[in-house]
Each structure stands twice: as structure tokens, then as C-alpha cells.
Structure 1
Amino acid sequence: MSANSRLTIAAHALTWIGLYQRRGHEVATSEQIATSVNTNAVVIRRLLGELRKAGLAESRRGAGAGWMLTRDLAAITLLDVYQAIEAGPVFALHRATPDPECVVGHGIGPALTAVYDDVEAALRRELAKTTLEDVLRDVLKAA
């Protein structure tokens, strides 16, 4: 199973837009962002559409069309981005109910639910600690 990169791509796109705006540009096109991410602009537009619904980005149509942030990088956490693009929990239980007559089938749900709830809480705590301003600072340090 491959890891999900949507949070990384979304954080990349928003951080890129924030830097681009700081450098005096009003809006960024999905093509420009896609070049930095090294993906198709359609992927970026879909992701930015989700971020727009969450109030993290907005788009302008027509002449001078493109994307912009709705707030400063320092006011957007990785948790904000995560909540905008991830619909459900990190881990899920079985799609079909296990055999209730089996000792493992009967008890696996409650046993794992407690662990999964703790993992989800820890993930949210950690993501809430980092803003996109922090990400940009570290990106610029690495450059």
C-alpha cells in the first residue's frame, strides 16, 4: 500500500502561493503551482478546490485568473490543511463486520478503536503545532 501524499501536495501548493504573493504577485496559476509540485495542473485545481471550500484559498476567474491565499501563512496550520483535504480518519475498521462468533472477530473492533483514536488525536496535535509559515521558513533554510 502506498502512502498518501495529498497533505504534502496541498501544503506545497499553499506555501508556494504564499511565497509567490510575498514576492509581489497577486495570484498564482494552477500551471505555475503544478510545475513546482511536478504534477498535472488538473491535480492542483482539484486539490485547491477542496482548499477553497475550507476557506484556505480563493480563485479569481477571467483576466488575471489564478489562486490566492485567504489568510497569511502564519495563520494556516498543517491541521487546517489536513482537515480540508482528508475526509475521514487515518485508520478504519473492517468494511464488512467480522464474524461475531469468532473471539478475534468479536473483539478486534473495540481493541483497535482505542488505539486508532489515540493515533488520530496525536496526529492532530502534531499537525496543529506547525504553520505554513514554519514550513516556508524551513524550506528557505534548506535552499
Structure 2
Amino acid sequence: MRRDSRLSRMLHVLIHMDRHYKRATSETISKMLGTNAVVVRRTMAGLRDSGYVRSEQGHGGGWELARGLDQITLFDIYEAIGKPPLFAIGPSVDQPECLVEQAVDAKLGDALKEAEALLLERLRTITIADIAADFDRRMPEGRCNIHTEQSASA
């Protein structure tokens, strides 16, 4: 099963927008992420509809933050991108009439629901500003990440 990296990628974009751009085009963001601008627009639309970014079309347009990073949690972005599955593991559906499978699926399902609830609660407590502060601590003063420099000139 392929991992869904939209949450991580959107957090990445939002921090770059806060730290390096006032407004970023879909093309600039797509180059940063190594994806298509259409994919960026579709994903950013969910963030716009939730009030975390706004967009302006035309010359000089692009995406910009609508709120401060301290006002946006990881859970907020998780919801805005459509609540993708959190885990790649899950109950089996191969033999639903099998009593062993039923017992396994019941316990596994309960454990996954519990783990999901804990994870979602944790995501509600972390703001994007918390991640950005960690980025600030990691970045040598006056030095910019290479893909940021490339994206800014694009």
C-alpha cells in the first residue's frame, strides 16, 4: 500500500510560505514538491475552503496564508486534505465467515480505533508554528535550503 504524504507535503508548503514567500504560485509549489501544478491546486483548494490559505488569480497571484501558523494545527490540515487513512494496516476481509478472522479483526479493529483516537488527539495539540520553530532551530543562520532557492527563482 502506498503511503499518503499529503499531510507532510502540505505542512512543508505552509512553512515555506510563511518563511520564504508572501505568495506562491501553484507552479512554484509544484516544483518544490516535484508534482504537477494541477495536483497542487486541488490540494490547496481544500486548505482554502477551510480558511487556512487564500488564492488570487492572474498576474502577481498565487497562494498565501490566511492565518498565522500558530492558529493552524496538524489536525486542521489533516481534515482539510480529506482525512486520509492513518494506518496502512487493517482488518482482513478475505474470509468474513471464519471465526478466527472475526476474532482477529475485532481485536485489531479495536486497537486501531484506539490508536487512531490517540493520534488524532495528539495532532490537535501540535501547531504548524511548533514545526516551524523546530525548522528555525535546525537552519544555520543566513543559509537557505537549496530547493527553496531554486523554487524562489522559478
Question: Quick check: TM above 0.5?
Answer: yes
Matched, 1:31 2:31: no
* Corresponding residue SS for 1:16: helix
Q: Deviations over 1:65-89 (max 9, x none)?
A: 2111121110001111111114354
Give 2:17's aligned residue: 17
Q: TM-score, normalised by structure 2?
A: 0.75
Give 1:119's aligned residue: 115
CA distance in 1, matches of 2:85, 2:35: 26
CA distance in 2, matches of 1:87, 1:56: 16
Gaps of 5+ in 1: none
Q: Cα gap change, 1:88/1:136 in structure 2, threshold over 3 Å: closer, same or farther?
A: closer
Equivalences for 1:118-137 in 2 at 5 Å? 118-137=114-133
Cα contact 1:34–1:41 (8 A) shared by 2: yes
Cα contact 1:75–1:131 (8 A) shared by 2: yes
* Corresponding residue SS for 2:110: helix
User: How far did 1:119 drift?
Assistant: 1.0
Q: How many residues align?
A: 137
Sequence identity (%): 35
Gaps of 5+ in 2: 140-154
Give 1:84's aligned residue: 80
Cα contact 1:89–1:120 (8 A) shared by 2: no
* Corresponding residue SS for 1:122: helix
Cα contact 1:59–1:68 (8 A) shared by 2: yes
Q: Cα gap change, 1:12/1:77 in structure 2, threshold over 3 Å: closer, same or farther?
A: same
Root-mean-square deviation (CA, aligned residues, Å) is 2.2
